[in-house]
Amino acid sequence: EEIGTVEYWTRPELEGSRTKALFTTAREREKLVLQLGVGDAATALSAAQVVARDVAAFDINCGCPKHFSLSGGMGAALLKRPETIADIVKTLKRNLPLPVSCKIRLLDTEEQTVSLMQTLEKAGVDALSVHCRYVPQRSRTPAHQHMLGPLVRCVGVPVIGNGDVKTYREGREWVQS
């Protein structure tokens, strides 16, 4: 039986050997959001164009605090360059017919986080995900869930809260708080 799968493989010259990078089926394509770890608009567009027919949306990872991402100018390193994130969003929106979201972390102040969120909204982002921790914090530090409410109210796009929700009940309690 043919299930209509699409497989993407890394290029051997980039990785040293071929490894499967993405596997999807026709039924999944309408639901699959691909998170991009990129540091500039040209790279984002190049990567997105490869898989655009096989995903439903793109998410720009602006929150990863790992050394690999930071040293490559990706993930949380982008939080220091809001204009670059906005350029990535605008470039993807201008060139591809798919929704674009961004995952961010809390900045040093609420005002800085609000400013970033509003900048991304003006750039055309379709949704934002806020990991309610600061860049240096890891999962052993409780998420600052109480900070999400004011952030949600500062923009008109959907905002997804992230951090320390392990059950449906915890999620409902957070939304209602």
Question: Which residues are marked as active site?
Answer: 64
Half-sphere exposure of 72 (CA within 13 A, CB side): 15
Category of 135 on φ-ψ map: left (φ > 0), alpha (ψ -120 to 50) or beta = alpha
Quick check: 101 and 57 in contact, CB under 8 A? yes
The arrangement of strands across the sheet holding 33-36 comes to 33-36, 57-61, 100-106, 127-134, 159-162
Q: What is the largest CA-CA distance in the chain?
A: 55
